[in-house]
Chains A and B, each alone.
Chain A
Amino acid sequence: MDWTFLALSVVKIIGLVFLVILPMVAYSVWAERRVSAAIQDRVGPNRVGIAGLLQPMADGLKFILKEDFTPDHVRKTYYWMAPALTMIPALLTCAVLPFGSRLFGEKMVIADLDVGPLFVFAIASLSVYGIVLAGWASNSKYPFFGGVRSTSQMISYEIALGLSIVPLLMIFGTLNLGEIVQYQAENGWALLPLWGESLSLKGFLLFIPIFISFIIFMTSIFAETNRLPFDLPECETELVAGYHTEYSSMKFALFFLGEYAAMIIGSGLAVTLFFGGWSLPFGWLAPESIEADVPWWQGLIHIGVFFGKVIAIILFFIWIRWSLPRFRYDQLMRLGWIFFFEIAVINVILTAVILIWVK
Chain B
Amino acid sequence: MAIVVKRPKLKWWEQLYLPGILKGLGITLRHFFATLRGKTKVTMQYPEEKWNDHLPEHYRGAPALVTDEQDRERCVACQLCEFICPPRAITIKPEEIPSEDKWAKVEKRPREFDIDMIRCIYCGLCEEVCPEQAIFLRKDYSITGTSRAEMVHHKKKLYEIGGQRVGLVNKWNELK
Known: A35-B32, A319-B29, A323-B27. A41 touches B21 (CB 8 A): no
Name the distance in Å between A277's Cβ and chain B's nearest Cβ. Answer: 25
Chain B residues near A323 (CB-CB < 8 A): 21, 24-25, 27-28
Q: Does B173 contact A (CB under 8 A)?
A: no
Shortest B28–chain A CB gap in Å is 4
B72 at the interface (CB under 8 A from A): no
Q: Are B24 and A324 in contact (CB under 8 A)?
A: yes
Interface residues of A in 38-61 (CB under 8 A from B): 38-43
Q: How many residues of chain B have a CB within 8 Å of chain A?
A: 16
B36 within 8 A of A: yes
Quick check: A39 and B28 within 8 Å, CB to CB? yes
In chain B between 19 and 60, which residues have their CB closer than 8 angstroms to a CB of chain A?
21, 24-25, 27-29, 31-32, 34-36, 40-43, 45
The residue in chain B whose Cβ has the minimal distance to the Cβ of A41 is B40
Residues of B near A37 (CB, < 8 A) are 35
| A299 vs chain B, min Cβ distance (A) | 33
Give the CA-CA distance A324 to B21 in the complex, in Å. 7
Chain B residues whose C-beta falls within 8 Å of the C-beta of A322 in the assembled complex: 28
A155 at the B interface (CB under 8 A): no
A276-320 interface code vs B (CB 8 A; 1 in, 0 out): 000000000000000000000000000000000000000000011
Min CB gap A199→B, angstroms: 28
How distant is the Cα of A253 from the Cα of B102 in the complex, in angstroms?
70
Chain A residues with Cβ under 8 A from B32's Cβ?
35, 38-39, 319
Interface centre among B24, B25, B28, B40 (most CB of A within 10 A): B28
A40 x B25 contact (CB < 8 A): no
Q: Are A319 and B43 in contact (CB under 8 A)?
A: no
**A-B Cβ contacts below 8 A, count:** 36
Whether B31 pairs with A38 at a CB distance below 8 angstroms is yes
B31 engages A319 (CB within 8 Å) = no
Judge whether A38 and B21 touch: CB under 8 Å: no
| Of listed B29, B41, B42, B45, residue having the most chain A CB within 10 A | B42
Q: In the complex the two chains form, is A41's CB within 8 Å of B35's CB? A: yes
Cα–Cα, bound, A70→B4 (Å): 49
Q: Which A312-359 residues have a C-beta within 8 angstroms of B?
A: 319-320, 322-324
Given the known interface contacts A41-B42, A43-B42, the answer about A320 and B31 at a Cβ–Cβ threshold of 8 Å is: no
Q: Known A43-B42, A43-B43; judge A38-B29 contact (CB<8 A).
A: no
B24 to A, closest residue via Cβ: A323
CA distance A38 to B28 in the complex (A): 9
Please give, as numbers and ranges, the residues of chain B lying within 8 Å of A35 by CB-CB distance. 32
Q: Which residues of A contact B27 (CB under 8 A)?
A: 323
Residue from the list B24, B36, B41 in contact with A38, Cβ < 8 A: B36
CB distance from B114 to the nearest CB of A (A): 36
Q: Which residues of B contact A319 (CB under 8 A)?
A: 25, 28-29, 32
CB distance from B58 to the nearest CB of A (A): 28
Closest CB in chain B relative to A47 CB, distance in Å: 9
Query: A39–B45 contact, CB under 8 A?
Result: no
**B25 near A320: Cβ-Cβ < 8 Å:** yes
Other A-B pairs beyond A37-B35, A38-B35, A320-B25, 17, CB < 8 Å: A38-B31, A38-B32, A38-B36, A39-B28, A39-B32, A39-B35, A40-B31, A41-B35, A41-B41, A42-B35, A42-B42, A42-B43, A43-B42, A43-B45, A319-B32, A323-B24, A324-B21
Listed A/B pairs (26) with beta-carbon separation below 8 Å: A37-B35, A38-B31, A38-B32, A38-B36, A39-B31, A39-B32, A39-B35, A40-B31, A41-B34, A41-B35, A41-B40, A41-B41, A41-B42, A42-B35, A42-B42, A42-B43, A43-B42, A43-B45, A319-B25, A319-B28, A319-B29, A319-B32, A320-B25, A323-B28, A324-B21, A324-B24
A→B interface (CB under 8 Å): 35, 37-43, 319-320, 322-324
